[in-house]
Amino acid sequence: MKLLSSVYDTVVNRNPGEKEFHQATREVLESLEPVAKRYPEYGKAGIFDRIVEPERQIIFRVPWVDDSGRVQVNRGYRVQFNSAIGPYKGGLRFHPSVNLGIIKFLGFEQIFKNALTTLPMGGGKGGSDFDPKGKSDGEVMRFCQSFMFELARHIGPDTDVPAGDIGVGSREIGYMFGMYRKIGNQYTGVLTGKGLDYGGSLVRIEATGYGLCYFMEEAMNAKGKSFEGSTVVISGSGNVAIYAAEKAMQLGGKVVALSDSNGYIYDKDGIDLDTIKRIKETDRGRIRDYMKHRPHAEFSEDFKGIWSIPCDIALPCATQNELDQRDAEILVLNGCFAVGEGANMPSTPGAVEVFLKNRVIFGPAKAANAGGVATSGLEMSQNSMRLSWGFEEVDTRLKEIMRNIYRNVSQTAREFGNPDNLAMGANIAGFMKVARAMLAQGII
């Protein structure tokens, strides 16, 4: 980095210890060097300095009472990063690892991802260090109500519209929506990912995983490849992973492995997805429970070992930095020709370098997993219009959006002299839209 190194230095000095945030800003700023050179007006207007600083950061106490009557205290966050092109939009993550740096990295990435969808959504992210795992429904409800009691004063359908992420699915969204409605005495689409009976959109549950496969199919077709007849390895077994697996199979791929934080399963005949859905969605169980139903499969406790399974296509769909340089080298050695990021920032910078050097078709998170938030945008539209579209209609729109994202990102990569670098294309294309809006709106 030359032109933008001082912007990065400020990020590091101003946000000490927030290593994931440093990593995410560095990766974007490195891609933006040619933009800073070509468009000096952005530098003059302080766009780079402003875009790395959240518009607002909210941190709050979340007290709740557990089933044994003990008072528990968690920490809640909402980082409202950028609203130049629309209301803040982005998920809520409930996981014990959550801290300000993680929420900031996610919020920062969300700005560019949302811009790529072409829908009018700014970037934001929130969450808590609360761990829903092992909690009763009552405990989860009381936590969600307490969390929303504070968050409600900062959000709104035209201000900030949260959704799910790790640890936040339709159960949690339901409890939070109920509390928001009670506090505000208003029925608005303030959250997305709602249940179908109260304002949710068809395809939102499937959207991130399906969108990932639509994006990767486009990218692969451009290189004469496809899911058809390919062996696919997918990490995670949550919302994104399950529906990535479903669509990969529908497109003719064979999914042989899935994981959770306790290990991975390998079923060389192809994973039985109905069994996975029952274990994960209905029973809230663990991936090793798959062995009870399919004893011929293999289970390993080493979560990261999943990348040593030979495959054509790898889809990391669990969490940040889950795939490092060594894993990338093993994937390449085993003949993997495409990697699509369903999770946010799952590949370390070293891993991305290995993929690009070896001409692996690499779908970066900001583009490849944008289908979830895009369908959230479609949920917002339906809520505003007070109607709901059918499955086919939403799915067709999602497919079209992912195709357009691919076209935009690859065209931008080409324009900036690096046609196979979709990560660079995504960072530049997402940035340009927000930068133009910020420039037009003055120094605010």
Buried b (16+ CB within 10 A) or exposed e, 30-45: bbbbebbeebeebbeb
Active site residue 280: no
Helices (H), 15-136: 19-38, 40-44, 47-51, 100-116
Q: Tell me which residues in 245-264 interact with ligand NDP (CB under 6 A).
A: 260-262
Q: Is 244 or 432 the residue whose CB approaches ligand NDP more closely?
A: 244
Q: What's the CA gap between 356 and 323, in Å, rounded?
A: 15
Q: Is 82 or 344 the residue whose CB approaches ligand 2IT more closely?
A: 344
- Both tokens of 103, joined, read 């929420």
Q: Tell me which residues in 122-181 interact with ligand 2IT (CB under 6 A).
A: 163, 165
Minimum separation from the CB atom of position 165 to ligand 2IT (A): 4
Helices (H) and strands (E) in the chain, counts: 17, 12
The answer to whether residue 217 forms part of the interface with ligand 2IT (CB under 6 A) is no
Contact 339, 331 (CB under 8 A): yes
Q: What's the CA gap between 243 and 425, in Å, rounded?
A: 26
Q: Exposed, middle or buried, 183 (CB in 10 Å: 0-12/13-18/19+)?
A: middle
Minimum separation from the CB atom of position 242 to ligand 2IT (A): 15
Question: Minimal CA–CA distance to 32: which of 444, 441, 435, 440?
Answer: 435
Q: Is 93 or 247 the residue whose CB approaches ligand 2IT more closely?
A: 93
Q: Is 225 or 239 the residue whose CB approaches ligand NDP more closely?
A: 239
Minimum separation from the CB atom of position 376 to ligand 2IT (A): 3
SS3 183: helix
Q: What's the CA gap between 36 and 2, in Å, rounded?
A: 10
Q: Tell me which residues in 369-388 interact with ligand NDP (CB under 6 A).
A: 369, 372
368 CB-near residues (< 8 Å, 6+ apart) = 211, 212, 215, 216, 340, 341, 342
Residue 443 CB: number of other CB atoms within 10 A? 9
Q: Which does 261 bind (CB under 5 to 8 A by kind): ligand 2IT, ligand NDP, none?
A: ligand NDP
Contact segment (CB under 6 A) with ligand NDP among 55-63, 163-171, 179-187, 289-297 equals 163-171
The answer to whether residue 90 forms part of the interface with ligand 2IT (CB under 6 A) is yes
Q: What's the CA gap between 291 and 301, in Å, rounded?
A: 13
Residue 295 CB: number of other CB atoms within 10 A? 7
Minimum separation from the CB atom of position 13 to ligand 2IT (A): 27
104, 113, 125, 247: the catalytic one is 125
Contact 159, 55 (CB under 8 A): no
Contact 271, 245 (CB under 8 A): yes
What is the x/- site pattern for ligand 2IT, positions 362-401, by CB under 6 A?
A: ----------xx--x-------------------------
Q: Is 148 or 318 the residue whose CB approaches ligand NDP more closely?
A: 318
Minimum separation from the CB atom of position 421 to ligand NDP (A): 21
Q: How many residues bind ligand 2IT (CB under 6 A)?
A: 11
What is the x/- site pattern for ligand NDP, positions 316-355, by CB under 6 A?
A: -xxx----------------------xxx-----------
Residues paired with residue 127 on neighbouring β-strands, in sequence order: 77, 93
The answer to whether residue 80 forms part of the interface with ligand NDP (CB under 6 A) is no
Task: Give the residue, chosen from 76, 126, 238, 425, that forms a contact with ligand NDP under the rule CB under 6 A.
Answer: 238
Minimum separation from the CB atom of position 99 to ligand NDP (A): 13
The residues annotated as belonging to the active site are 125
User: Where on the chain is the footprint of ligand NDP (CB under 6 A)?
Assistant: 95, 97, 164-167, 208, 236-241, 260-262, 303, 317-319, 342-344, 369, 372
Residues that bind ligand 2IT (CB under 6 A): 89-91, 113, 163, 165, 192, 344, 372-373, 376
